Amino acid sequence: MAPACLLSLPTELLVEILISLDFGDVLRCQAVCKQLDDVVRSTALLQYKIELATSGLTDGPPDATLPLSDRRGCVKDYQRAFEIPSWCCKKEIQMSEVSSDAMPIHVEYRGNLFMRAYEEGRNTMDTIAALAFGAWDGLEKFDTVEVTHIMSDDEEVKTNNWKLHFGRMFDYWAIDPAQDLLVCWGGRQLTHPDDSLGRGSFRLSVFSITHGAPVLDHEFLWLTPSGAGNMRSRLIEVHIMGDLLGAMAISSGGTRVEVMLVDWKRRRTVAALHSFRTVASS
């Protein structure tokens, strides 16, 4: 609950205080009480701050003359372009060649990036053999990502292809072309470098899509669900939202789900949501 002295301030002053905060603090203020939530939701400038952050964008120079309503419209157009690409013509794109028996196991198209991931040197027959002899663990790992940057004729830039070689295996990925971010991780739990956290953490790597170089000062971003040492879990989903990652871990029996909101630049969890399902036994 917010202090009474804060809530007694005029709404105009509350707005000025909230505008001075960063995106994450504004969201936390919304969760404090309904009055602050109403202020944030009813203030166009605060909504614009949130929309900018979730799109991975920054505002223009202070002397920009474009009205706020037009700036919000530009952000919504930007978001819509990624969510619903529109094509005015049909065009064949030349992509890099892949061995005829190779099997890309992760494919994604976002914005003007088409990406394929696979384990280099492993083909369809390897996967079938692993399945037949019981060596398949239900995950298709990858160590290579091929990127095709599809440009329109209006942009006067030719379509470009490149490969990212990581030198280690991953199970999953998430991408944000607007921030040039590629997040890769393994689904199984590992031992955290801090031994006190035990064997219940997940290790994520954050790369540049353009260069394949790590984005963070330290190579890995570690996530540790609460109560991780008491049950085995798998990290199945990560979404990139500006400076935040939304990560979902589920226990092996499906009885516990945890969603973590992580500030990946500062390497800290800012919120966590837990859900339990009781399984009846006879």
Per-residue pLDDT tens digits for 197-235? 556 788 899 999 988 888 887 778 888 877 655 567 778
**How many Cβ atoms are within 10 Å of 282's Cβ, its own excluded?**
2
CA distance 113 to 104: 16
| Residue 136: predicted pLDDT | 46
96-102 own/partner pairs: CB under 8 Å, 24+ apart: 96/146, 96/148, 96/161, 96/163, 98/146, 99/123, 101/125
Give which of 23, 71, 15 is closest to 43, Cα–Cα.
Answer: 15
**pLDDT at res. 154:** 52
Q: Is 220 strand, coil or helix?
A: strand
Helices (H), 88-235: 124-132
What is the per-residue pLDDT for 139? 53
The pLDDT of residue 127 is 57
Residue 97: predicted pLDDT: 63
Residue pointed to by tokens 């905060």: 21
CATH numbers and ranges of domains, the chain: 4-83 (1.20.1280), 93-170 (no CATH), 181-210+222-282 (no CATH)
Query: How many angstroms separate the CA atoms of 168 and 186, rounded?
Result: 10
- Return the C-alpha torsion angle 201, 205, 206, 207, nearest 10: -170
CA 185 to chain centre: 11
CB contact at 8 A, 204 and 184? yes
Residues of the chain whose pLDDT is less than 50? 135-136, 138, 155, 278-282
Residue 182 is predicted with a pLDDT of: 92
Strand partners, 185: 172, 204
Report the pLDDT value the prediction gives residue 131, as an integer from 0 to 100.
52
Give me the pLDDT at residue 281, please. Answer: 44
